[in-house]
Amino acid sequence: MSKYEYKILTLVRHGTAPSMAGDTVDYERQLSSEGEQESQTTGKWLHTLGLPLPEYILCSSSTRTQQTLTQLRHGWPQLQSVETNFQKNLYATSHASVIQTLASINSHISHLLLIGHNPYISELATTYTGIYMRMMPANAVVCELQEPHPCWSDALALDNYWKMKYHNTD
């Protein structure tokens, strides 16, 4: 069993990025200055919650999600030390595909931070809170599994056993 018996899944949508202009490819869109500020604010907010530090960060490899992580780390400096995996398969993908990716996470990880995109971030938040959630840029939701479970694949199948602990709406 992990040091923190209950799995925690923290979901963060990337910060505000301007619409595509000219030859900009969606994958390469950058955060606006507003997106940088709101992402840093979300990092500060997560830090003030007193949660255990995530043991693993999964982040879409798109430019705006990587920049969101950089700003989260400005707000929660301890995230600098957390192992991070940037994955292209977390860009322009489905809810089901993301669940498969999350299910492969090592069972010793008790707190996982996922930084990604809509619609799947909102769909995951809705699934694991039981409440319809429309995640706006740089919004975060922290979900906790209500019974000890060592395996992520099994834990993710228990959507009725998760509870929303925190959600920022700024």
DSSP 110: -
Q: Is residue 1 part of a domain?
A: no
Query: Between 153 and 5, where is the model more confident?
Result: 153
What integer best gives the mean pLDDT of the chain? 92
User: Which domain CATH number covers 64?
Assistant: 3.40.50.1240
Query: pLDDT-based confidence at 20, cuts 50/70/90?
Result: confident
Q: Is residue 21 part of a domain?
A: no
Show the tokens assigned to 66: 């990587």
Q: How many CB atoms lie within 10 A of CB 69?
A: 22
- At residue 74, the pLDDT reads 98
Q: Is residue 99 part of a domain?
A: yes
DSSP string, 11-67: EEE----PPP-TT--GGG----HHHHHHHHHHHHHHHHTTPPPPSEEEEE-SHHHHH
Task: Give the torsion sign (CA, 121, 17, 67, 93).
Answer: positive
Q: How many residues does the chain have?
A: 170
- At residue 93, the pLDDT reads 95
Q: Is residue 98 part of a domain?
A: yes
Q: How many domains does the chain have?
A: 1
Q: In what order do the strands lie in the sheet with 111-116?
A: 83-87, 56-60, 111-116, 8-13, 140-145, 162-167
Nearest to 105 by CA among 130, 84, 123: 84
Tens digit of each residue's pLDDT (9 = 90 or more) over 102-122: 999 999 999 999 999 999 999
Q: Is residue 122 part of a domain?
A: yes
- At residue 6, the pLDDT reads 82
Range of the domain at 78: 8-16+26-167
Q: Is residue 80 part of a domain?
A: yes
Residue 151 has pLDDT above 70, yes or no: yes
- At residue 5, the pLDDT reads 64
Q: What are phi and psi of 145, to 5 degrees?
A: -75, 135
CA-CA distance, 98 to 96, in Å (whole number)?
Answer: 5
Q: Is residue 2 part of a domain?
A: no
Q: Is residue 116 part of a domain?
A: yes
Tens digit of each residue's pLDDT (9 = 90 or more) over 45-68: 999 999 999 999 999 999 999 999
